[in-house]
A and B are shown apart, each in its own frame.
Chain A
Amino acid sequence: MAAANPAIHDVHDDHDHKPQGFLDRWLFTTNHKDIGTLYLVFSLTMFFIGGTMAMLIRAELFKPGMQLMQPEFFNEMTSMHALVMIFGAVMPAFVGLGNWMIPLQIGAPDMALPRMNNWSFWILPFAFLLLLSTIFMPGGGPQGGWTMYPPLALQGGVNVAFSIFAIHLMGISSIMGAINIIATILNMRAPGMDLLKMPVFVWSWLITAFLLIAVMPVLAGAVTMLLTDKFFGTSFFHAAGGGDPVMYQHIFWFFGHPEVYIMILPAFGIISEIIPTFSRKPIFGYQAMVYAIASIAFLSFIVWAHHMFSVGMPLGGELFFMYATMLIAIPTGVKVFNWISTMWGGAMTFETPMLFAIAFVVLFTIGGFSGVMCAIVPADFQYQDSYFVVAHFHYVLVTGAVFAIMASAYYWLPKWSGHMYSETWGKIHFWSSVISVNVLFFPQHFLGLAGMPRRIPDYNVAFADFNMISSIGGFWFGASQLIFVGVIIHCVYFSKQKATTQVWEGARGLEWTVPSPAPHHTFSTPPVLKPGMLAHDDVSH
């Protein structure tokens, strides 16, 4: 895509020959940049498929009463929207960014295991073909929520086996991708690129990859137990046979909570790249940022049951998980304050990536605060399964993860494509998104506190006004994303404004030393690090 640009006249001995045929280029590729592009395009496609489902959900909820669809289809939409957005949009976007940027940021010629890198990606389209095809099967797709709690999920029809196998495939893809990223970061760094000189984005991915390898197999185990319970007569989740449906929830959330951080830690990394660039200052407290990410990752393994406070647990368990969850606010607070301190006194400019990054800091923090509210056991008995929870996790996932991905797209698009995007349209996209997303999700806090349950197609007329506001915000936010696509297409294919090598005045790091667009092969011989080249040369502060 970016490669279609004929205007590359770089005179690097690193001859920029890429495969000519379409299949050679995209199907058989072992190039980290091409695979990164594949991931990102796939992610954007899934973002719109999942987004269409969200639009249908908001259309049904526009006013009370049954409007457009059968309740079964509504349940399919909520379940599929989550699966598609989590496994199809957010995670592949981060893997795509990792693929593109990690080798460029650490001075590696490619990913450590390039052929496996191809396989990690090319499993995904098949996994989603399997998952999405269940919508058209007799009985429709999964309707029991993305968490697939038994016994409800096991009462599904044809879709159960298909969706479980789809999740297995996604897991295989994620594990291979994560193994590749760890091997790349630990083994492929340019000489002199010590661990504590790496960009924070690379650090965040190193820790995220560890989380992925640790918990994706646990999800595989959990859904395998679902499969054998349904088809092979096991009793893992049947009380009559000595099992327990709640046991599924424990195993699932042992995966599920680290999964939440898998979807936010790379976002932390991205924000930690962008804010220093546009503040023209090194990041404040580099080492603290790294240790904060590591602490959050550690804590993510001991907080899972806060997703199930109301399910019935011994009191000691409730208290342990409550306090452990609240501890997470400490390293997260370190990060938020460090981002603010980085901006403090900086020569700031507000290009689109910076706008998204600042919106991230503010809005993610709102999502973090509502998370602390949910962590309080007695209060959570009220919030559980209400729209308050929906508002909470959409603040951290949409204005958190998705905003960070958009920030990163604007930030690195000039490096990928060799052209500048339209700053005007970027800003229009930003302001349209940031206003509409709050119209969309903020009223959902009120709905939840007033008692509106999640995952229902119809509701009490008392909730009518806020739902209509939320739906209007939803359609607006959805439409705003068309601007995003327009900006990308314009930038890649039509923009006349060439990007410089450094792109952004305040940018530091190895990825800003290669030409824009980045040649097909970079750092075939390791770069020689010079003082001032890295953002974190001197980490004594």
Chain B
Amino acid sequence: MAQTQGAYYVPHGSHWPIVGSLGLFGTVSGAAMWLNDSPGVGKPIMAVGIALLVVMMLGWFGTVIRESVGGLYNKQVDVSFRMGMIWFIFSEVMFFAAFFGALFYARELVVPWLGGSGKGAMTNYFLWPEYTAAWPTNGPDDIGGSFQTMTPWGIPLLNTLLLLTSGVTLTISHHALRAGHRGRTIAFLALTVLLGVIFLGFQIYEYAHAYGHLNLTLGSGIYGSTFFMLTGFHGLHVTLGAIMLTVILFRCMKGHFTRDNHFGYEAVAWYWHFVDVVWLGLFLFVYVL
């Protein structure tokens, strides 16, 4: 029942959620089979699952865009969407918090304890008397073999500047949208996407360098674990953000957004700034300190 203009729009039945559930189910059960040494069965199931998720997103977002352009949403619906996005980003913040927490706990407590300070004196004495606490470390058993770390003042610094610049270009684009300058909106949005893609390119180069030349891998003890999980999940989010920005770019070109009504644009912008802020934390705590 598409309600009358002015009332809160309550959509009627949708088959996209169940498609999404099947997609999630296929993705994770396929992935689990793959991990359990049945890649032959797991991979195709996972591929089908991911394909379903993509179909679901295209269909679901397509429906929402049509409804939005069709004028079914009032101010109150807009506020619901905003709250949804804000709390989603908060949940992402907490996801990263778990990994940052692991990094801080390992650096500030675990490694010193393994080196014999505080409550770890006996562990150190009986198991690893040779081990002295240091950071970076791959632990008392030298897991993964000796490795070198990335210097923060090369590619990571460059990447920091790239992301910060992308935040600025996105803001310029947003101001242009609000001022009604369509050309400038699109140009600066495209520039933002480009900066994001360059960032990802450097990140891939950095990983190749780490694996190929520094012997720094996911298996390099606690340093490698925290380094790759934090930067990896961040990179995944940049990828997602870049895809979202690209979608928004196309929507700008199609003229979906008006000066006053462009929540989709703003949601993606919020997400991009969130990814940006996470990177600043990474740069400081993973690379510099």
Binding site for B on A (CB under 8 A): 17, 19, 24, 27-30, 108-110, 112-116, 118-119, 122-123, 125-126, 129-130, 158, 161-162, 165-166, 168-169, 172, 175, 178-180, 182-184, 186-188, 213-218, 220-222, 224-225, 227-228, 231-236, 238-244, 247, 250-251, 254, 312-314, 521, 524-525
Contact A188 B8 (CB under 8 A): yes
Q: In the complex the two chains form, what is the Cα distance from A104 to B102 in whole Å?
A: 42
Contact A218 B98 (CB under 8 A): yes
Task: From B18, B35, B140, give the contact of A242 (CB < 8 A).
Answer: B140
Binds A, one of B105-113, B163-171, B203-211, B249-257: B105-113
Question: Is B14 in contact with chain A by the CB < 8 A criterion?
Answer: yes
Contact A242 B110 (CB under 8 A): yes
Interface centre among A165, A218, A242, A525, by most B CB within 10 Å? Answer: A242
Q: In the complex the two chains form, what is the Cα distance from A240 to B114 in whole Å?
A: 9
Contact B11 A114 (CB under 8 A): yes
Contact B21 A126 (CB under 8 A): yes
Name 18 A/B residue pairs within 8 A (Cβ), A-sorted.
A24-B13, A110-B10, A113-B80, A118-B17, A119-B20, A122-B18, A129-B25, A158-B36, A214-B90, A221-B95, A233-B218, A235-B138, A236-B102, A236-B106, A238-B139, A242-B111, A242-B139, A251-B102
Task: From B18, B94, B101, B217, give the contact of A215 (CB < 8 A).
Answer: B94
- Given contacts A235-B222, A236-B222, A242-B114, could you give 6 more A-B pairs where the C-beta distance is less than 8 Å? A30-B12, A165-B28, A166-B28, A179-B84, A183-B87, A241-B221
Which A residues touch B18, using CB under 8 A? 27-28, 118, 122
Q: Kindly report which residue of chain A lies nearest to residue B32, judged by CB atoms.
A: A161
Task: From B21, B88, B105, give the contact of A119 (CB < 8 A).
Answer: B21
Which A residues touch B106, using CB under 8 A? 236, 242-244, 247
Contact B91 A213 (CB under 8 A): yes
Which A residues touch B144, using CB under 8 A? 233, 241
Binding site for A on B (CB under 8 A): 1, 3, 7-8, 10-18, 20-22, 24-25, 28-29, 31-32, 35-36, 60, 76, 79-81, 83-84, 87-88, 90-92, 94-95, 97-99, 101-102, 105-106, 109-111, 113-114, 118-119, 123, 127, 137-141, 143-144, 217-219, 221-226, 228-229
Which A residues touch B12, using CB under 8 A? 19, 30
Which A residues touch B76, using CB under 8 A? 187-188
Per CB-CB distance, the 7 closest pairs between chain A and chain B, nearest first, are A221-B98, A242-B139, A28-B13, A242-B222, A119-B17, A233-B219, A165-B28
Contact A30 B7 (CB under 8 A): no
Which A residues touch B31, using CB under 8 A? 161, 165
Q: In the complex the two chains form, what is the Cα distance from A390 to B200 in whole Å?
A: 50
Write the nearest CB–CB distance from A99 to chain B, whole angstroms.
14
Which B residues touch A178, using CB under 8 A? 87
With contact pairs A179-B88, A213-B91 given, residues A221 and B99 touching in the complex (Cβ less than 8 Å): yes
Which B residues touch A29, using CB under 8 A? 13
Contact B13 A130 (CB under 8 A): no
Write the nearest CB–CB distance from B219 to chain A, whole angstroms.
4
With contact pairs A28-B14, A183-B80, A242-B137 given, residues A213 and B218 touching in the complex (Cβ less than 8 Å): no
Q: In the complex the two chains form, what is the Cα distance from A312 to B110 in whole Å?
A: 12
Contact B225 A126 (CB under 8 A): no
Contact A115 B11 (CB under 8 A): yes
With contact pairs A183-B84, A235-B221, A242-B140 given, residues A161 and B35 touching in the complex (Cβ less than 8 Å): yes
Q: Kindly report which residue of chain A lies nearest to residue B38, judged by CB atoms.
A: A158
Task: From B3, B14, B141, B226, give the contact of A240 (CB < 8 A).
Answer: B141
Task: From A27, A129, A238, A314, give the contact of B143 (CB < 8 A).
Answer: A238
Write the nearest CB–CB distance from A211 to chain B, whole angstroms.
11
Q: Kindly report which residue of chain A lies nearest to residue B113, judged by CB atoms.
A: A244
Write the nearest CB–CB distance from A183 to chain B, whole angstroms.
4
With contact pairs A186-B83, A251-B101 given, residues A214 and B14 touching in the complex (Cβ less than 8 Å): no
Contact B35 A113 (CB under 8 A): no
Task: From A17, A180, A254, A521, give the contact of B101 (CB < 8 A).
Answer: A254
Write the nearest CB–CB distance from B184 to chain A, whole angstroms.
33
Interface centre among A113, A115, A116, by most B CB within 10 Å? Answer: A115
